[in-house]
Chain A
Amino acid sequence: MAFTGQLGTSDSYLANIVLGTAGGGDLEQIINHVLALVQTANAGQTATAENTLVLVDDAVGTVDHFESASHTLVLVDEAISSITMLSVSDTLALVDLAEGRTPISIAVAQTLELVQVQDGHQNPVNKLIFDDLGLVSQVNRTITVVVSQSMSLVSAVHRFLGGVDVLNLIQSVSVGKSKDGTSHQLTLLETIVIESVLTRSVPDPLGLIQSVTYSVVGDGCALLDYRPYVGSSTDPAFPPPSTTKPTLGDGTLTLTFPFVAPTTTLILRNPEFDNTERLAFNRVIRESRGGSLSVFADPDWPKEDILLFTVTSLRPQKLDALRTFLLDSAGREIGLLDWENRQWKGIVLNPDAAMSEPGRDNRTVSLEFDGELV
């Protein structure tokens, strides 16, 4: 048994439809009851437009046994204004009542879905949007242990310049008689979904270097002695020279081979004056088109420290020993203990040095030694 009713364009209608059950004899498993109503009110140039639709839809099942009772009421209430209005009000009142009158009902589910859309096209004048939703859920005479009431609210605002977003939740449970006590629980779940979090880090290094140096007014000894005036600095690029005064000793020119675990030792006379220490550095010196001079050198680039010295008055036996030493150690690292008792490690660059004989039993040789202080 089904009813289909359509209401015309009259201003007000009261529809009270009581649906009976299927015939009183046999038991029927499913009862469907569909009511579709369409009401349209057109307002021309009137200053006030009212459109009221009151619906009472009551479905009562009086049979003894229902496995499923479904009651669906779909209402679409839409107020559209194509002209500028001072106020657009759209009120939708719904009373949805579901009763399970028999004590053997397993579950009573009641779903109420409301979709309310307010859309203002082309720069709406009204700046305030109110969205009120009142829900009343009432259960009478039940032995159901758990009464659940859930509400989902989804609010989306686009092109929102600013305003107040307030959500008031009030849950009240009134119990006349209770057997196992009263539970009153309000659960709020708020979820924020973030697609991605972009963290922008802006490096802003600011290097500050401070240094302290001396302003020497006068120090006569400073012109003769080892006395560098080294202040302090936080610049790691230029480690300062040592302030420790070197100790100069007396020694005899001694060559050892190999440098580690030497097996050959040759002692020569100390060289003549005018021996030379040659310090050579790899640097890039460039002059720009504008005329400024740029000097660059990586501190890790190799440096040369070459000793040039001439040993004279060598006897032939010593000269033979030197010749043998140079032949054995050609191109290999040797040790050199110099005349100031400093230990060097390096290579003789000219093992083919000319050995001249300026006088009887008087041999002279000039050596070049590339090494480093140990």
Chain B
Amino acid sequence: MLSLQAPLPNIQTTTLLPSPEFNDSESRRLSVEMKKTVDGTKFTYVKKNTRSKLLYTFALSRLKMLEVRAFIQAYFRAKVRITNHKGEVWEGHFVSNPFEITSNIPEAITLEFEAERVFAPAVPLC
């Protein structure tokens, strides 16, 4: 299960979603630019921050999709808290544009966040 809560910091609305489909992704917002001089010396320029880009695809019922649609229309410019299926808590913004809702059975939508992880549960050692 995944929950969306907005707006931060004064949360008013909570929407519960089923866990996203497989092939969800998480990528750090990190870039490296390398320059090489004529004598072969390498210089690297690193741009990094604490955010990650999250990509989740949900398969939802029609009514749940309408709820997500209403949530997006209300909070597309707000800061959102995401508690994902792994128990991680992320805080960030929607960066999808446009949001595409594909009508099928079930309906599908892909949400893209750029968020910062504020909590991560302990990973079991075994």
Contact = CB atoms under 8 A, between A and B. Distances in A.
| A and B co-occur in one complex | yes
Interface of A: 209-216, 219, 222-233, 235, 237-242, 245-246, 248, 273-281, 283, 285, 287, 291-293, 295-297, 299, 303-304, 306
B96 to A, nearest CB: 9
A218 to B, nearest CB: 8
B12 A248 contact: no
Contact of A227 (B10, B12, B47, B67): B67
B65 to A, nearest CB: 9
B25 interface: no
Given A238-B75, A241-B70, A242-B70, A231 B16 contact: no
Given A223-B16, A240-B13, A281 B76 contact: yes
Interface residues of B, number: 49
Leading 10 A-B pairs by shortest Cβ distance: A291-B49, A241-B70, A280-B98, A297-B77, A211-B10, A233-B12, A229-B14, A226-B63, A279-B99, A277-B101
If over half of A's interface residues share one DSSP class (helix, strand or loop), that class is named, otherwise mixed; here it is: loop
B104 A225 contact: no
A211 B98 CA distance: 29
Give the one of B3, B12, B64 with max A CB within 10 A: B12
B36 interface: no
A213 B7 CA distance: 10
A291 B14 contact: no
B35 interface: no
Contact of A238 (B12, B69, B72): B12
Given A209-B10, A291-B48, A293-B93, A245 B63 contact: yes
Interface of B: 1, 3, 5-7, 10-18, 47-51, 61-64, 66-67, 69-79, 92-93, 95, 97-105, 114
A296 B77 contact: yes
B63 A238 contact: no
If over half of B's interface residues share one DSSP class (helix, strand or loop), that class is named, otherwise mixed; here it is: mixed
B30 to A, nearest CB: 10
Contacts, number: 142
A287 B53 CA distance: 14
B64 A226 contact: yes
A231 B13 contact: yes
A278 B14 contact: no
A238 B78 contact: yes
B15 A229 contact: yes
23 contacts: A211-B11, A213-B13, A216-B3, A216-B16, A225-B61, A225-B63, A226-B66, A230-B13, A231-B11, A233-B12, A235-B12, A238-B74, A240-B13, A241-B73, A273-B103, A274-B104, A276-B102, A280-B98, A280-B99, A291-B48, A291-B49, A295-B95, A297-B76
